[in-house]
Amino acid sequence: MAFHMNKIGIFFGTDSGTTRLMAKKMAKLLGDVAAKPLNVNRTTADEMLQYDALILGTPSYGVDQLPGKSTKIEDGSWEEFMPQLAGKDLSGKVIALYGLGDQEKYPDRFAHSLIHLYRWCVAGGATVIGQWPTDGYVFDQSPAVVDGQFCGLVLDQRSQSLLTDARLSAWVAAVKPALLAKLT
């Protein structure tokens, strides 16, 4: 399994598939260095922790939480996966985060679930990269804003889908060098 270390691991949660589609687009932009994106409801903590360079993504559902069974994702998602990682040491890992949301419909808690991935990475001692400016988004409040920037790439396939491809390619270009630097 050691060959995994030579790739960038991409893991996502999803309900309706948008966050998976974004993972696939990222993998395509990264090319050979990207592992096949995996849904967190079909993988294990050990599988994820084999990678030192990671991209993790989540949609936003519920209020101030990660998506999972309590937000009506029947097969489970990050909510169920996260406890497997409790207490794991993430130091030495470089992690880029992305989150999906809908700023028109949820302007008061835009992309809120992303902050929970961020907090978990920081608590585990990982280096989080890929912070993203809030310019160009229209919302009232987002818990995913840390020190004036989103704590990862935020994509909105509901109200700003035309901006997605440009955001994706700019962000992937920005995070790629730091992720590649972790590959052996």
Ligand X SMILES: Cc1cc2nc3c(=O)[nH]c(=O)nc-3n(C[C@H](O)[C@H](O)[C@H](O)COP(=O)(O)O)c2cc1C
Q: Which residues bind ligand X (CB under 6 A)?
A: 14-19, 59-61, 100-102, 106, 109-112, 157-158
Q: CA distances (Å), 138 to each of 6, 53, 135, in order?
A: 38, 31, 8
In the complex with ligand X, which residue's Cβ is closer, 93 or 118? 118
In the complex with ligand X, which residue's Cβ is closer, 10 or 94? 10
Shortest separation between residue 68's beta carbon and ligand X, angstroms: 12
In the complex with ligand X, which residue's Cβ is closer, 51 or 110? 110
In the complex with ligand X, which residue's Cβ is closer, 46 or 64? 64
Output the six-digit token pair for 72. Answer: 């009506």
Q: Find tokens 């406890």 and name the residue.
A: 83
Distance CA 98, CA 181 (A): 20
Output the six-digit token pair for 126. Answer: 């990982």
Of all residues in the shown chain, the one whose CB is closest to ligand X is 101
149-150 and 132-133 beta bridge pairing:
antiparallel
DSSP state of 8: B
